[in-house]
Chain A
Amino acid sequence: MSGFFDIPSDLQHSWLGLIGLHLREALLPVLAGLVLALPIAQLCVRFRWLYPPVLWVTTVLYAIPSLAFFVVLIDYTGQTELTVMIPLAVYSLVILVPAIVDGVRSVPQETLAAATAMGFGPLRRYVQVQLPIAVPAIIAGLRVAVVSSISLVSVGTLIGNQGALGNLLADSMFYHRPELAVNSVVTTAVLAIVIDALLVGLRHLLTPWMEDTAK
């Protein structure tokens, strides 16, 4: 008997366990990327000459294939979860920096002047005015980063079975059980769609002043 949810024991996780593992491997890097991207983006906004070179570096970094990135890291971090998560964090960073810079830059000059006139210091103006107005752009970047991150974790199965749900793909080949591959693809896709929808919901919560337009 080989049902849809019968996970081979060599993976040492249940189906739900794999989902948890997958989410952790996909979302922690995005979070790390966001934490790093905020100050970098702020520097790019403050010092305009910094943005074009940063944009170049991010474009080049994003062009590096994930598998190539993974294997070069093996030398330093071994065949561990961290090896999967570092490249994903870099990809997230690379997606988020331009998104945040464009978002923060789209804040109208009058709005900033008004905040300054009201006695806001630079930090308070950043946190209470610029960041909230940039939320839609940041969330749009997060959506792309999260979906690609969730999809890329599966490739981790090639470097010492660090792929969470992707490990089902390897097993589906070893044991000739196509339903495991179906399970992996469907579960990963559903995870991506659910997280994407949650982010859209979050944007609605964070920006109640925006009209609910379809997009």
Chain B
Amino acid sequence: MNVLNFINAFFSDSAHWKGYDGIPTRLWEHILYSLVALGIAAGIGLPVGLLTGHTGRGGNALSLIATAARALPSFGLLVLMFVVLGLGLLPVMIPLVVLAVPPILVTTYEAVRSVDPSPVDAARGMGMHESRILLQVELPVALPLILSGLRSAAIQIVSTATIAAYVSLGGLGRYIVDGLYQRDYEKVVGGATLVAVLALATLGLFWAVGRLAVSPGVRRSN
């Protein structure tokens, strides 16, 4: 009677593989929530981080905003949004985006700030336009750090999207929350395993993206 038995029982039950409560459906819902939230958060965090990092202005304001946003409890925000806005995707998206913007914003800012100034000066001396300096010099060098910010944001989103089930949405958290109410421990552990695997897959995905996207010269110096 241990966790491994529960996991085995959950995954070998064919009833868990089809229908609206099947593993493929729930997994897809979970990935969908996570992708949308990460997309919105990156859409906010990346441009702002790149611009502030390039100009070097607004660093204090950024860290203040990030500290405040980090202090907001995502689970609390989720329930609050649900109570205020009612059922829907929006009350789930708001806490997920609030959760993900600070790591993306702060690491992007720090990454661009910490780029070695000599290649940037060289590029400027060659007459490159500021936007090209940012996109063709600073961005490639800062990419490993920027990706690490996106990675921790993505992992936090995947873990927190689990809680969306508490306010009646789908996703893998459905198994955990339903299982707890039904005292079906097999379901709870199965759901937990799926979420953990998804989080680890995210970790692996970002590692692969890093291998592919980061220029070999930058990778070697790290």
Contacts and interface: CB of A to CB of B under 8 A. Distances in A.
Interface in B178-211: 179-180, 185, 188-189, 191-193, 195-196, 199-200, 202-203
Nearest to B166: A158
Given A181-B79, A185-B80, A67 B73 contact: no
B158 A65 contact: yes
A202 interface: no
Interface of B: 2-3, 6, 60, 63, 67-68, 70-77, 79-80, 82-84, 155, 158-160, 162-163, 166, 173, 176-177, 179-180, 185, 188-189, 191-193, 195-196, 199-200, 202-203
A166 B73 CA distance: 9
B3 A72 contact: yes
Contacts of B79: 169-170, 172-173, 181, 184
Most buried by A among B84, B191, B199: B199
Contact of A196 (B71, B77, B195): B71
Contacts of A181: 76, 79-80, 83-84
A65 B199 contact: yes
A67 B173 contact: yes
A196 B70 CA distance: 11
Contact of A185 (B70, B77, B160): B77
Contacts of B176: 67-68, 71, 158
A147 B103 CA distance: 14
Contacts of B159: 63-68
27 contacts: A60-B200, A62-B155, A63-B200, A64-B200, A65-B162, A65-B192, A65-B199, A68-B196, A71-B179, A71-B180, A71-B188, A71-B192, A147-B70, A147-B71, A151-B71, A154-B75, A155-B163, A159-B180, A165-B76, A166-B75, A166-B76, A169-B80, A178-B83, A181-B80, A184-B80, A192-B71, A196-B71
Interface residues of A, number: 43
A65 B195 contact: yes
A155 B163 CA distance: 8
Contact of B63 (A64, A71, A215): A215
Contact of B71 (A155, A158, A173, A189): A189
B72 A172 contact: no
B196 A188 contact: no
Given A68-B176, A71-B189, A178-B84, A63 B199 contact: yes
A214 B64 CA distance: 11
A27 to B, nearest CB: 15
Given A64-B199, A67-B192, A71-B176, A154 B84 contact: no
A16 B2 CA distance: 39
Contacts of B203: 59-60, 63
Nearest to A150: B73
A70 to B, nearest CB: 8
Contacts of B185: 74-75
B94 to A, nearest CB: 12
Interface string A3-33: 0000000000000000000000000000000
A121 B82 CA distance: 59
